[in-house]
Amino acid sequence: MTTANGRRVVVITGASAGIGRAAARRFAGMGDAVALLARGADGLEGAARDVRQAGGEALAIEVDTADHEQVDAAAGKVESELGPIDVWVNVAFASVFAPFTKITPDEFRRATEVTYLGFVNGTRAALDRMIPRDHGVVVQVGSALAYRGIPLQSAYCGAKHAIQGFNESVRCELLHDKSKVRVTMVQLPAVNTPQFDWVLSRLPGHPQPVPPIYQPEIPADAVVYAADHPRRREYWVGGSTAATLLANAVAPGVLDRYLAWMGYRSQQTKHVTHRDPPNLWRPADTEPGTDQGAHGSFDDRAKSRSVQLWASQHHGLLTAVTATFATGLGALALAHRLKTTRMTGVEPSADLPHEGIRAVRAIEAGRAAWGLVLLTVPARVICALGGRRDRTVEIVARLLGARQLGQAAMSGLRPSRSLLVGGAVIDLVHAATALALGTVDDRWRRVALADAAIALGWSLNGLRDSTKTGRTTPSHSDADRVTAASSTSAWTNAWGRLPRNCR
């Protein structure tokens, strides 16, 4: 549901600074009404001013997200003044930079209550209002540290791990109930926010994000995109996030030792001397003149672009490009094979036995049928496999069908060992691309998995058929005939070029 004037109502916790502040500007730029929840009065005033300047309607509410009653009361105020909540974004957190043994029990509890229970309280307040309407989106702003713990941030890592498990559990419950309310999570890299200036720290150096560092506008764009496309279970932002999560999945023990060696040094710097009062127990941006904005102290080192984020948001386009590129390679291989045939007079299929050729052509006929179906009636395939119809999905399905048809024509018309091996490699790339697309976008997951399975099966068949024994080289007599024909042709051409009086 939207407000009477057609705008969404968006609630952002931790909106007075950092990623929450940047996300508020992005939502406001789309004409949304934005409710800003945070503790710091001056920061909230600055955030409300930003929202109005960007074209949105602002409602600032001082809230400690660790207190469920405050959060629930704030949600009620939002709905009474702005209208039903469409999007709820949980960002607020507090932390301590120190070895675990140097964090007091009260400090650890407070960081956990704000960071973990703050997300729980926000999600509860949102779902209590969204579920009866069967409409709404909750975006949890997570971190690569939701999967990978690092030294000196045990309270923060523990809370983010807890949020990850909590969000997955709630998502499963909503799916079970067939609810149209969505929850999704955005896993972030190191970001240049004011938290490193006002976090409680017991480090000898100034706390810093683990490089590479990104500007807060990048995760803000990811949050807005996730709110618009909430069917995906989570989004990764930044190449460092993707690399960290993949490395942790493959070799977590090695990463433990690497972080034990580099983790202390990479999270401290001597080049920043600015420090604000710690904000663990009370906000650092309450008094006039203390508003910090969205950026921290690392503007000179922070990146303003993320190729990985762009790729994540345009995976359909990348799949189409990959499929087109693979088809082009196949066409070039076919053209080369035909050229070789004309020059040598030897059919490419001469290195395969007759029964192998028949098997290849039977398989490629099946591939052509599947490609033709994808190309001509993608919507029916998507619906038959339980996917959700979408223009982008249909376009990608057609392109994949065209690639399958091209591969079938290339391998079926003139099969050869080298062509089958090359086609198998292309099929493997095709299968991997379809699998990756299916795992990150459930709009057409079953279609992607079916296409990947078919491509993988044909790849294995192609490799198997390419190993069948046959006449791998022309016989001596065949070779002699080819050589003789080539020599005769060469002499004939040379004789024809001679002047008539020289013959």
pTM for the model = 0.67
Neighbouring C-alpha atoms within 13 Å toward the C-beta of 50: 26
CB 36 within 8 Å of CB 12: yes
CA-nearest of 20, 25, 30 to 50 is: 25
Residues 290, 128: Cα–Cα separation, whole Å: 35
Question: Is residue 417 pLDDT above 70, yes or no?
Answer: no
Q: pLDDT by residue (tens digit) across 158-208?
A: 999 999 999 999 999 999 999 999 999 999 999 999 999 999 999 999 999
What is the percent of the chain where pLDDT is above 90?
50
Count H helices, E strands: the chain? 18, 13
113 pairs with which residues across the strands?
Answer: none
Per-residue pLDDT, 62? 97
Please give the angle made by the CA atoms of 284, 285 and 286, to the nearest 5 degrees. Answer: 100
Residues 448, 438: Cα–Cα separation, whole Å: 5
Beta strands in 202-286 (DSSP E): 206-207, 213-214, 234-236, 268-269
Q: pLDDT by residue (tens digit) across 438-451?
A: 655 555 566 667 77
* Of 63-77, 244-258, 458-472, the least confident: 458-472
Per-residue pLDDT, 249? 87
Per-residue pLDDT, 500? 46
Burial of 380 (0-12, 13-18, 19+ CB in 10 A): exposed
Residues 218, 220: Cα–Cα separation, whole Å: 5
Burial of 464 (0-12, 13-18, 19+ CB in 10 A): middle
* Of 151-160, 170-179, 251-260, the least confident: 251-260
Per-residue pLDDT, 472? 43
Give the residue with greater pLDDT, 161 vs 246: 161
- The mean pLDDT value for 380-387 works out to 68
Residues 283, 34: Cα–Cα separation, whole Å: 21
Per-residue pLDDT, 481? 45
User: Could you say which of 116, 156, 214, 225 is catalytic?
Assistant: 156
Per-residue pLDDT, 351? 52
Q: What is the DSSP letter of 466?
A: H
Give the residue with greater pLDDT, 460 vs 249: 249
**Highest mean pLDDT pick, 71-80, 272-281, 470-479:** 71-80
* Of 67-71, 371-375, 413-417, the least confident: 413-417
**Highest mean pLDDT pick, 159-163, 209-213, 272-276:** 159-163
Per-residue pLDDT, 418? 62
CB 297 within 8 Å of CB 197: yes
Q: How far is CA 475 from CA 353, 472, 479, in A?
A: 14, 9, 6
Q: pLDDT by residue (tens digit) across 289-347?
A: 989 899 999 988 888 776 666 666 665 556 656 656 665 665 565 565 556 555 655 44
Which residues, including other chains, have CB under 8 Å from residue 467's CB and lie 6 or more apart? none
Per-residue pLDDT, 492? 45
Beta strands in 259-306 (DSSP E): 268-269
Per-residue pLDDT, 342? 58
Question: Is residue 487 pLDDT above 50, yes or no?
Answer: no
Joined tokens for residue 110: 């407070």
Residues 233, 145: Cα–Cα separation, whole Å: 17
Task: Tell me, yes or no, if 156 is annotated catalytic.
Answer: yes
The single-letter code of the amino acid at 238 is: G
- The mean pLDDT value for 470-490 works out to 43
Which residues, including other chains, have CB under 8 Å from residue 5's CB and lie 6 or more apart? none
